[in-house]
Amino acid sequence: MKRRHFNQMMFSTAGHLRGSVDSNQPVAPFSPEENNENRISHIDQTVNIADVRLLAQRNMEKSSFDYVDTGSCDEYTLRDNIQAFQRIKVLPPLLTGVSRCDLSTVAMGEALSMPILLAPVAAQRMFHQEGGPAAVRAASTMKTLYAMSSSVGSSVEEIAQAAPCPKWFQLYVPKDRNVTRKLIERVNKSGFKAIVLTVDLGEWKDADHRNKFTLPKSMLVKHLRDIGFHHITNSMSQQDIQAFNEDAWDLNLSWDFIPWLRKHTHLPLLIKGVLRPQDARQAVHYGADGIIVSNHGGRRLDGMPSSIDSLPGIVEAVENDVEIYLDSGIRRGTDILKALALGARAVLIGRPYAWGLGAAGENGVRKVLQLLRDELINAMVATGCPSVHQINHSLLQRS
């Protein structure tokens, strides 16, 4: 992979205006109220994730909002993540009423109140001044799990101490294996419950290029020092720090990295970014404990298939060997029902809670989790499922 592809991910450059590549295209797959953005001025007025997005758009810097909102290149994959869910139809059996729904589940051995987890999301202080710790507190209140991005903008220790919910640590790998090893040691010591190795690298977003999206120097310095690059200081020039950042990360990862990582941690390991059944089998072969079926929310390579369309093949290949999770495109409780029906143990959300953070900090993230939880309960009542473990493919119409 060319280094500059990775740079955006690590905040050195970026920019764009969503969907402006082709003005004939529908620009957003998910903008039911796009022309009515003044309707929502407080988080209490939001009734769905689209409302939360509108409030985030109102409250956030344009370049930060675009950084969250947009997808790679022409955004085919971003749109397909939404449209693929729309193509799947739910066909509820009649007269199978339930009076109570149990959403509780277990993820990598951790008991959770619901199958909705917070995905690793970078740069959270760009969305709200309280950043990642605010999202961790919301996850804790809602008794779910927070997956920390190694680029979140807070240290491993800050996230660990923010609130007591179970946490996973997502790793982007420094080239310097000593730095990587020490980072993993801190993760081991800080009470994280698993490591997520993100393997779909490279981000190419026109909006970020147009907006020249980049972290302020002080945030980039903090991020690099939090990782363990202690020689990086605010006294260095922005240019030198950017140049260092562009060269610091390992883009040459291969399957051989997994045994190396295993030597340095006993934590369960999830591989994030899997779309091919063959790769899922490889992950199992290399001893992964979990797989996250994901196309990075359509932020990586445009033209990749949606996660939900990729899920059945992966379930068929490895369902008895590892825990299978899904992210990319979850916007409604029915999307969660569909993902669980097709074999996911739980889903992760990225943009919805990043919008929540931008809209109203901790309260916004909590509201997003409440909305999706309540929509999932409604979908379970309508399909006669008293427990998330009873959601299965018989609820879906076969195409």
SS3 at position 327: strand
Q: Between the CA atoms of 371, 64, 82 and 111, what dihedral angle is there, to the nearest 10 degrees?
A: -50
Contact pick of 350, 356, 358, 364 for ligand FNR (by CB under 6 A): 350
Give CA–CA dist 147/80, Å, rounded: 24
The stretch among 119-127, 135-143, 176-184, 228-236 that binds ligand FNR (CB under 6 A) is: 119-127
Q: Looking at 15, 120, 131, 268, which residue binds ligand FNR (CB under 6 A)?
A: 120
* DSSP letter assigned to residue 172: P
Tokens of 221: 């310095």
Q: Which of 16, 296, 389, 393 is catalytic?
A: 296
Residues 226-255 that bind ligand FNR (CB under 6 A): none
In the complex, the smallest distance separating the C-beta of residue 398 from ligand FNR, rounded to whole angstroms, is 26
Note if 296 is an active site residue.
yes
Q: b/e per residue, 117-135, with b = 16+ CB within 10 A?
A: bbbbbbbbbbbbebbbbbb
Select from 114-122, 161-169, 182-190, 256-264 the region that touches ligand FNR (CB under 6 A): 114-122
Residue 301 C-beta: closest distance to ligand FNR, Å: 13
Q: Does 330 bind ligand FNR (CB under 6 A)?
A: yes
Using CB under 6 A, which of the segments 32-40, 94-102, 220-228, 348-356 binds ligand FNR?
Answer: 348-356
Q: Taking contact as CB under 6 A, which single stretch among the options 155-163, 231-239, 245-253, 347-355 is the one that binds ligand FNR?
A: 347-355
Q: Report d(CA 47, CA 375) in Å as an integer.
A: 10
Interactions with ligand FNR, residue window 187-206 (CB under 6 A): 198
CB of 235 to ligand FNR, least distance (A): 27
Q: By CB under 6 A, what part of segment 163-182 binds ligand FNR?
A: 170
Nearer to ligand FNR, 43 or 168 (CB): 168
Q: Which is nearer to ligand FNR, 226 or 397 (CB)?
A: 226
Residues in contact with ligand FNR, counted by CB under 6 A, come to a total of: 24
Cα separation, 6 vs 103, in Å, equals 38
Q: Which of 268, 329, 356, 358: binder of ligand FNR (CB under 6 A)?
A: 329
DSSP H or E stretch at residue 242:
helix 238-247
- Tokens (6 digits) for 130: 């309280």
Q: Which residues pair with 194 in a beta bridge?
A: 168
| Candidate list 149, 245, 310, 334; residue touching ligand FNR; CB under 6 A | 149
Alpha carbon distances (Å) from 13 to 40, 239, 372: 32, 12, 33
- In the complex with ligand FNR, which residue's Cβ is closer, 342 or 354? 354
Residue 193, phi then psi, degrees to nearest 5: -100, -15
Within 10 A of 318 (CB to CB), how many other CB atoms are there?
A: 22
Q: Choose, by CB under 6 A, the member of 103, 349, 365, 371 that binds ligand FNR.
A: 349
Q: Are strands 323-327 and 110-112 parallel, antiparallel or unpaired?
A: unpaired
Q: Residue from 7, 328, 334, 383 that binds ligand FNR (CB under 6 A)?
A: 328
User: What DSSP assignment string belongs to 344-389?
Assistant: -SEEEESHHHHHHHHHHHHHHHHHHHHHHHHHHHHHHHHHT-SBGG
Instruction: Rounding to the nearest 10 degrees, give the CA dihedral for residues 282, 286, 292, 297.
Output: -70
Helix runs in 10-142, H state only? 49-59, 62-69, 76-87, 131-141
Q: Compare residues 101 and 275 and give the one whose CB is closer to ligand FNR.
A: 275
Supply the minimum distance, in Å, between the C-beta of residue 352 and ligand FNR: 6
- Subset of residues 353 to 382 that bind ligand FNR, contact rule: CB under 6 A: 354
With CB under 6 A as the contact rule, the residue among 43, 84, 114, 119 that binds ligand FNR is 119
Is residue 297 close enough to count as binding ligand FNR by CB under 6 A? yes
Reduce the DSSP state of residue 86 to 3 states and report it.
Answer: helix
CA distance 92 to 98: 13
Catalytic residues: 296
Q: Which residues bind ligand FNR (CB under 6 A)?
A: 67-68, 81, 119-122, 149, 151, 170, 198, 272, 294, 296-297, 299, 327-330, 349-351, 354
